[in-house]
Structure 1
Amino acid sequence: METACDIVVEADPGRLWELVTDIEVPARFSPELRRVRWLDGATGPALGARFEGHNRSEVLGEWRTESHVVACEPPKVFAWATVDPDGRFGGDDVDPAQPMSTWYFELQPRDGGVLLRHGVRLGPARSGLTLAIESRPEKKDAIVRYRLAELRTGMEATLRGIKDLAEG
């Protein structure tokens, strides 16, 4: 399962790259991501760098993720795979090659700006979505639609926030 949102930002790609690779920026706008911090002494984006995220939703409550940077190609792609370090969702695999989700920003230069895409691919590891489907398997399609819409709402808010920062 996957979803993505786009926005055109009238800004220099270098400025936009600084914003999308600052892991604290999405926490300013996302309704779910509350706070983040780099791990292992990392101070910025690099392939293999790790960061911790703290999330909250009405349905799932609070949980922690660990993210591994899996793509860092300035100023084109920044992506990270999230794992469940606490086994909150019933999995015990914290291998970023088998993540709960993989998030990304893609930047494509356009006349006068940049097309910025923010997206997520869910799975293959267990997540809150897995728990929800297991508790109500007869509602699987509705649960998936709801979760993807919820993720799109958060991504759209994040994109609007980044656009405002970049153009402001």
Structure 2
Amino acid sequence: MTPPAAGTSTLLRAEARILVRAEPGTVYDTVSDLPRSGEWSRECTGGRWVSGTPRTVGAVFRGENYRGADVVPWAPVVRGPWTTESEVVDAEPWRLFRWVVRDSAGRRQDSTWTYELEAAPAGCLLVHRYRLGRPTEGFTKIFGQLGEAGRARFTAAWNEKLADDVAASLSRIKRVIEDAAAGRGGAA
């Protein structure tokens, strides 16, 4: 998947990075195992591969998610359990794993999650990104319930939430991998 063209708008964006004391192959094997996401994600509680060869381009993952009432509590977002389907669009062991969220008809949306990995002297630099260009089906519904000021408030609050979520996921991934390497288990 190619990056967005210059001038393409971005509605939401979050990025965090962390040094993990493990080789990139170990880190890649962990983050590309999407059913394990419940060990580190604040919202994804797990899920399963529903088509394609797991962890390869074209594979589809159905994520099970949960969001509590305390998350941006004034916003008209899904609360409780819900599912998503995502399609792997890049899978380069030791380097890059990226997937996009699909709409209810199975089409790719402009909603992209990425892990980038780079060997470092003390292990692996892991970068986690999220980018939303055009609004997804869900965001279109949310924006339909908000006026212009409400949309701006929601976008700012959701960007802050995403930044916190991405950073928390990386901290938990680091703990899962480093605890496993030290023989301490590792569920977050």
Fold shared per TM-score above 0.5: yes
TM range (shorter): 0.7 to 0.9
Could you say which residue in structure 1 is the equivalent of 2:117?
107
Match of 2:102 among 83, 89, 92: 83
Match of 2:82 among 31, 53, 63: 63
CA 1:125–1:132 in 2, change beyond 3 Å: closer, same or farther?
closer
Alignment pair present for 1:37 and 2:48: yes
Is the Cα contact below 8 Å between 1:100 and 1:127 reproduced in 2? Answer: no
Larger radius of gyration: 2
C-alpha distance in structure 2 between counterparts of 1:143 and 1:32, whole Å? 18
Match of 1:140 among 151, 171, 182: 151
C-alpha distance in structure 2 between counterparts of 1:151 and 1:53, whole Å? 17
Runs of 5+ in structure 1 lacking a partner?
A: 86-92
TM-score, normalised to structure 2, is 0.76
Match of 2:141 among 131, 146, 153: 131
Number of matched residues?
158
Runs of 5+ in structure 2 lacking a partner?
A: 1-10, 70-76, 180-188
Tell me the CA shift for residue 100 of structure 1.
5.0
C-alpha distance in structure 1 between counterparts of 2:151 and 2:51, whole Å? 38
CA 1:123–1:27 in 2, change beyond 3 Å: closer, same or farther?
farther
Q: CA RMSD in A?
A: 1.8
Could you say which residue in structure 1 is the equivalent of 2:61?
51
CA 1:128–1:150 in 2, change beyond 3 Å: closer, same or farther?
farther
Tell me the CA shift for residue 25 of structure 1.
2.6
Percent identity over the alignment is 31
* Alignment-mate amino acid for residue 74 of structure 1: P
C-alpha distance in structure 1 between counterparts of 2:111 and 2:52, whole Å? 24
Could you say which residue in structure 2 is the equivalent of 1:118?
128
